[in-house]
Amino acid sequence: MSLRQNESVTPGTSTNTVFLDRLARARATMDERGVDALLVSVGSDLPYLTGYEAMPLERLTMLVVPRDGDATLVIPRLEAPRVVEQPGAFRIHPWNETDDPVAIVASLVGTPAVAAVGDTMWARFLVELLGHWPSGATQYVRSTHVMNALRMRKDDAEIAALAAAGAAADRVAAELHAGAIPLAGRTEAQVSADISARLLAEGHDVVNFAIVAAGENAASPHHHPGSRVIRENEIVLCDFGGTMAGYCSDITRCVYLGTPPADVAEAYAVLHEAQAAGVAAGVVGAACQDVDRASRRVITDAGWGEYFIHRTGHGIGMEAHEDPYMVEGNDLPIESGHAFSVEPGIYVAGKWGMRLEDIVVASADGPLSMNHADHALVTL
Ligand code: ZN
Ligand code: ZN
Ligand code: ZN
């Protein structure tokens, strides 16, 4: 993730309203779950609530949210200029090099009966916090207890950010489809670097991955692009994404260099139908596993079931993979604002592989696709 200031998080929206709203929803969940204090440090929860992403340093940065009362961002004084204080949402409390920041955190809340601590808070701070609020007096729970339901339900600003990142990834996919990204004769690694550069040129701040897998390499879903030279008459699978203004893109498209043989063409038709069925199943009130079942049924019915070797999708937002997961066994009901990938694949070891992936946001009006690039197996 890139380091950024909090203005960039909420395109087109009043920043302050967004963070006030998110903090209000966090407090409502704290209330529901009997959490007295929420403490978030490095990781995605902090930028979600404040717009500020802390450097993962030894100096403590922590947002302290009491169930009642003002939220405070405790931050090293030298980092404070990077933060825009959000009046009404949180105030900042800079600490000096000789201060004890954990004591400052502890002093902001009387000993809480239940404290929710960030999953990725450094253990050193939690251990020191235990000196102030011993585990006999305070029960500790993970911050996901408060944050997970919130983070899964994307608000309008987040959906706009996902749509913008998706559109940028679509433009790179369109370049791939148009033949503007040379393939034959180049190595997978060269094409991967080319796609990465184009993601940045289209506005991404960071590239998270750019899988390029040719021919038999495409049968390995997370193939690492290497020195393999791409040739005529083979499939090329490209799965790429990055982070743009704090939110992730993730798209997979395949192209065929030449005329696809019958088995590839048939399998792709099945894949295309399976992906559309998965998207259509992503409706509010369905279970996450229903998305997986919808895609898998199409592939299984066509006789390719044993070649679909992974879950159908993952949640996406500030992180490339986050809750909810579209997998058998996950009966979590899909809610409006849930954002996830739908990415079935068919992989024939030693021969070829294919995957088709879009990001989808569930809404009252049905599934909204964040990707619109051509879904066909484009031939070049
Ligand atoms: Zn993956
Ligand atoms: Zn992907
Ligand atoms: Zn994905």
3-state secondary structure 124-145: HHHHHHHHHCCCCCCEEEECHH
Report pLDDT for 12.
42
The pLDDT tens digits of the residues spanning 196-243 come to 999 999 999 999 999 999 999 999 999 999 999 999 999 999 999 999
Distance CA 380, CA 377 (A): 10
* Pair of tokens at residue 338: 């849930």
Distance CA 246, CA 160 (A): 11
**How many beta carbons lie within 10 A of that of residue 183, not counting itself?**
22
Residue 5 has pLDDT above 60, yes or no: no
The pLDDT tens digits of the residues spanning 256-273 come to 999 999 999 999 999 999
Distance 130 CA to ligand 2 centre (A): 40
Residue 140 has pLDDT above 70, yes or no: yes
Residues 6 or more apart whose Cβ sits within 8 Å of residue 349 = 216, 219
The pLDDT tens digits of the residues spanning 329-371 come to 999 999 999 999 999 999 999 999 999 999 999 999 999 999 9
Distance 320 CA to ligand 3 centre (A): 7
Distance 35 CA to ligand 1 centre (A): 34
Amino acid at 287: A
> Cβ-count burial of 213 within 10 angstroms (0-12 exposed, 13-18 middle, 19+ buried)?
buried
84 confidence band (pLDDT: 50, 70, 90): confident
Nearest Cα residue to 262 out of 377, 105, 122: 377
List, in order of start, the domains of the chain with CATH numbers.
15-150 (3.40.350.10), 153-379 (3.90.230.10)
Output the CA torsion sign for 296, 300, 301, 302. Answer: positive
From the centroid of its chain, how far is CA 81?
28
Distance 13 CA to ligand 1 centre (A): 31
Nearest Cα residue to 16 out of 66, 85, 92, 93: 85
Residue 150 has pLDDT above 50, yes or no: yes
Query: 353 near 236, Cβ under 8 Å?
Result: no
Kindly report the pTM of this predicted structure.
0.90
Q: Between 262-280 and 288-301, two packed helices, what is the crossing angle to 10 degrees? A: 150
Distance 275 CA to ligand 1 centre (A): 15
Distance 173 CA to ligand 2 centre (A): 12
Relative to the alpha carbon of 252, which ligand is closest?
A: 2
Relative to the alpha carbon of 341, which ligand is closest?
A: 3
Residues 6 or more apart whose Cβ sits within 8 Å of residue 153 = 335, 336, 337, 338
Report pLDDT for 14.
63
> Cβ-count burial of 262 within 10 angstroms (0-12 exposed, 13-18 middle, 19+ buried)?
exposed
Nearest Cα residue to 275 out of 334, 215, 221, 341: 341
Distance 222 CA to ligand 1 centre (A): 6
Distance 221 CA to ligand 1 centre (A): 7
Q: Could you give the maximum distance between any two Cα atoms of the chain, in Å?
A: 71
Distance 95 CA to ligand 1 centre (A): 41
Distance 22 CA to ligand 3 centre (A): 26
Residue 326 has pLDDT above 50, yes or no: yes
57 confidence band (pLDDT: 50, 70, 90): confident
